[in-house]
Chains A and B, each alone.
Chain A
Amino acid sequence: MRITSLLTSAVLALGLAGAAFAQDKTKVGFIYVGPKNDGGWSQHHHESALKMAEHFGDEIEFVFQESVPEGADAERVMTQMALSGVDLIFTTSFGYMDPTINVAKKFPNVKFEHATGYKTAPNVATYSARFYEGRAVMGHLAGKMTKTNKIGYIASFPIPEVIRGINSTFIHAKKANPDVELSVVWVSTWFDPAKEADATQALLDQGVDVVLAHTDSTAPLAKLKDAGGLGFGQAADMAEYGPAPRISSIIDEWAPYYILRTQAVIDGTWETSMTWDGIEQGMVGIGAFSDVIPEDVRAEAQGMVDAIVAGTYHPFTGPLKKQDGSDWLAEGEVADDGTLAGMNFYVEGMTGTIPN
């Protein structure tokens, strides 16, 4: 007992000493859910973080931890980072939400930035991108490009961010092609290349020929390249799979935000906030349209991008009903951010139910 308590206090003392030494230089930490070279979500966070580190050069110290499971392990890693004197910690997965809030309570002087969540605190800010704007464009392309009128969607977990993406995709695919059907496969993981590939194969077996994915690896595109079919880059451009199967992509651009927030910590002006930026602010990028897409469809997609940037078009514009047939948005009405942030329902025409 005594030895363990001695050790614990020694570790604590070391951590505090580390914190004291590090005060002259701002230390910025990142936590990723997958490996930093997963080709998608985590890799793009890492690349954006590297851009940020490059921007500040010697002014800051940059640390990161990859492949951190969501849950208790995440809390341990965050605590360790905070103890080692990190001033600003970016936790880059939805499942880090509660761990981030818990750890932030214990370290009021450390600033936390949680990606894609909805819980804030005086020292916890959230940031996310309006991926659904990108999904609208991808949905339109999918609706136009499918020959079998069946498109597939590999979904990770039933959280609002994912459900928003599915709805946005479906609404715009349906507009582009009224006969289209959307099959959703939930794989209950962000990162498992074999399972993502199996899910892609299962969709292809069901006659799907265009697959969208909301998981982190490039496995769905690798499978499509092997077995035939079209898909999209997700989180990263994944241009190495172009011109087919990858016909366009949604790219997450985190670097400007990381630079902005780190600067705020250096200046001492950091405040909690909820950032939710889209194509207009540059947080969501649309990857180049492949030549495989006919000229006129490319023009339509570009037109949609331009309209979203100009603010003349919102992907969730009425008339829209919920899946159960109840009214949601009246003609011309635009969804408010609160409903979108907590979206837990499918829109009319979707089949299947959302797991809970």
Chain B
Amino acid sequence: MDLSAINPLILIASLMVAATPILLAALGELVVEKAGVLNLGVEGMMITGAICGFAVAVETQNPLLGFIGAAIGGALLSLLFGVLTQYLLSNQVATGLALTLFGLGLSAMIGQSYSGVTPPPTSKVDLGALADIPVIGRILLQHDLMVYFSLALVVAVWAFLKFTRAGLILRAVGESHDAAHALGYKVVRVRLLAIMFGGACAGLGGAYLSLIRVPQWTEGMTAGAGWIALAIVVFASWKPMRVLLGAYLFGGVTVLQLNLQAAGLDVPVQVLSMSPYLITILVLVIMSSGKGRASQNAPAALAKSFHASS
């Protein structure tokens, strides 16, 4: 097999683009689940973010405002989920699924007048001469702002959960909401904030699709990316760095298999098509198996409803 037709530098650069939407959505969901809430509405929040960001960017001709709009749109939609599950104590699984259906419908409605419209281009970050550094320059220093933002967010979430007091409270709420409540922490408020953060991240991921990766608005354009993000959170055993690995692995194999085909290599297409799912799951499962604590890393209060009276 001749692999020389594939330029690894370009491949790595484009896998970062392909992985960013899933990475953002998965990071948000990780924080939500760490707070003990299971929000299955990631797909719905992503697609809502995709159209909110697209609409704002087109109306203002400013992609940055578009991303802010996407985050707000995703957060607002997730707030709906938050109110239903935290105040009205509805079932989280059912509400999350409903949120996906609702988001798909809502985005289709908002997006009616936006099909066929071209969004304003998002400029790459200009790093001047740095971008011309061999290898590193091509891989790392010629991206748009959102790629760097998503990477910074991985570090921020990791540090927040590991080193800050607020992160400790969030984890406490996710592990045992009764204990956290007894200590005087506002369980519902913490969870609502986490849910909104998750919604905002999913919204950003969606907008990355509609503003940069495709770039256009099409109904149903997330096509299951939200579910991949959900799966990656579980397989990454709720660790931010592994979420990064999982998202880049998934994005990487997806791009690689398309490139292998484009380069005309004679590998069965069926094998290539399922490889992103297979490889990502395999690697992450192997990493979290064994006797370490990783395999039991799920927040203990995940998907359990909390009410102060119980």
Does B218 lie within 8 Å of A218, measured CB to CB?
A: yes
List B183-223 residues whose CB lies under 8 Å from chain A. 209, 213-216, 218-223
Residue of A nearest to B272 (CB): A186
Q: Which of B60-68, B82-90, B252-260 contacts A (4 or more CB under 8 A)?
A: B252-260
Report whether A351 and B264 are in contact in the complex, using a CB–CB cutoff of 8 Å.
Answer: yes
- Nearest-CB residue, chain A, relative to B265: A352
The B221-236 residues at the A interface (CB cut-off 8 A) are: 221-223, 225
Neighbouring A residues of B4 by C-beta, 8 Å: none
For the complex, is B5 an interface residue (Cβ under 8 Å from A)? yes
Nearest Cβ on chain B to A33's Cβ, whole angstroms: 11
**With A194-B225, A222-B214, A351-B264 in contact, do A186 and B254 touch (Cβ < 8 Å)?**
no
Say whether B216 contacts A183, CB under 8 Å: no
Are B14 and A193 in contact (CB-based, < 8 A)?
no
Report B-chain residues with C-beta under 8 Å of the C-beta of A353. Answer: 266
Contact A225 B118 (CB under 8 A): yes
Contact of A37 among B112, B222, B269 (CB under 8 A): B112
Q: Are B214 and A197 in contact (CB under 8 A)?
A: yes
Given A35-B108, A188-B269, A194 and B261 touching (CB < 8 A)?
no
Q: Which residues 242-286 in B have Cβ within 8 Å of A in the complex?
A: 254-255, 258-259, 261-264, 266, 268-270, 273
B221 touches A206 (CB 8 A): no
**Binary flags per residue of B1-27, CB closer than 8 Å to A gives 1, else 0:** 000010100110010011001000000
Q: Does A198 have its Cβ within 8 Å of any Cβ on chain B?
A: yes
Contact with B along A168-204 (1 / 0, CB 8 A): 0000000000000101111111011111011101110
Q: Is the beta-carbon distance between A194 and B221 smaller than 8 angstroms?
A: yes
A290 to chain B, nearest CB (A): 17
Question: Which B residues are CB-close (under 8 A) to A197?
Answer: 213-214
**Chain A, 219-252, contact with B by CB distance < 8 Å: what is the 0/1 string?**
1001101100000000000001000000000000
Q: How far is the CA of A351 from the CA of B262 in the complex (A)?
A: 11
Bound state CA distance, A226 and B122, in angstroms? 10
B218–A39 touching, CB < 8 Å: yes
Q: How many A-B residue pairs have CB under 8 A?
A: 113
A29 to B7, CA, bound (A): 49
B214 contacts which of A38, A191, A194 (Cβ < 8 Å)? A194
Q: Is A338 an interface residue (CB 8 A)?
A: no
Q: How far is the CB of A146 from chain B (nearest CB, A)?
A: 15
A195 close to B223 (CB less than 8 A): yes
B262 A202 Cβ-Cβ under 8 A:
yes
Contact A152 to B220, CB < 8 A, known contacts A194-B214, A194-B225:
no
Does A217 sit within 8 A of B, measured CB to CB? yes
Interface size class of B (residues with CB under 8 A): 35 or more
Given the interface pairs A152-B262, A194-B209, the reply to whether A205 lies near B14 with Cβ below 8 Å is: yes
Bits for A39-53, please: 1 = Cβ < 8 Å to B, else 0: 100000000000000
- Shortest distance in angstroms between B244's beta carbon and chain A's nearest beta carbon? 19
Complex contacts, B225 vs chain A, CB 8 Å: 194
Q: Is A104 engaged at the interface, CB distance under 8 Å to the other chain? A: no
Query: Is A355 positioned at the interface, with any CB of B under 8 Å from its CB?
Result: yes
A134 on interface, CB distance cutoff 8 Å: no
Contact between chains at B262 and A208 (CB < 8 Å)? yes
With an 8 A cutoff between CB atoms, is A34 at the interface?
Answer: yes
User: Is there a chain A Cβ closer than 8 Å to B296's Cβ?
Assistant: no
Closest beta carbon of chain A to B158's beta carbon, Å: 27
The distance in angstroms between the C-alpha atoms of A195 and B209, with both chains bound, is 11
Contacts A194-B214, A194-B223: A186 and B273 contacting too (C-beta < 8 A)?
yes
CA of A189 to CA of B254, assembled, Å: 14
Residues on A with C-beta less than 8 A from B215 are 222-223, 226
Residues of chain A within 8 A of B115, CB atoms compared: 37, 39
Which residues does chain B contribute within 8 Å of A38, judged by CB atoms?
Answer: 218-219
Residues of A within 8 A of B262 (CB): 152, 183, 185, 199, 202-203, 205-206, 208
Residue of A nearest to B263 (CB): A206
Using CB atoms, name the residue of chain B closest to A152.
B262
- Asked if A148 is at the interface (CB within 8 A of a chain B CB), the reply is no
Give chain A nearest CB distance to B108 CB in angstroms: 7
Question: Does chain B have a CB within 8 A of A67?
Answer: yes
A314 and B260 CA atoms in complex are apart in Å by 34
Contact (Cβ within 8 A) B258 A193: no
Bound-complex Cα distance A205 to B258 (A): 10
Shortest Cβ gap from A271 to chain B (Å): 36
Residues of B within 8 A of A218 (CB): 116, 216, 218
Pick the contact of A352: B209, B255, B266 (CB < 8 A). B266
Nearest residue in A to B17 (C-beta to C-beta)?
A201
Do residues B221 and A193 form an inter-chain contact, with CB atoms below 8 A? yes
22 sample A-B contacts, Cβ–Cβ < 8 Å, listed by A number: A35-B108, A35-B218, A67-B220, A152-B262, A183-B261, A183-B263, A192-B223, A193-B214, A194-B21, A194-B213, A194-B223, A195-B254, A198-B254, A201-B14, A205-B10, A206-B262, A219-B214, A219-B221, A222-B118, A352-B261, A355-B268, A355-B270
- Chain B positions within 8 Å of A, measured between CB atoms, are 5, 7, 10-11, 14, 17-18, 21, 108, 112, 115-116, 118, 121, 209, 213-216, 218-223, 225, 254-255, 258-259, 261-264, 266, 268-270, 273
Closest 7 CB pairs of A and B: A35-B219, A355-B269, A202-B258, A222-B216, A192-B223, A206-B262, A193-B221
Chain A interface (Cβ < 8 Å from any Cβ of B): 34-35, 37-39, 67, 152, 181, 183-189, 191-195, 197-199, 201-203, 205-206, 208, 217-219, 222-223, 225-226, 240, 351-353, 355
Q: A67-B220, A219-B214 are in contact. List 4 more A-B contacts (CB 8 A).
A: A187-B258, A194-B209, A194-B225, A198-B258
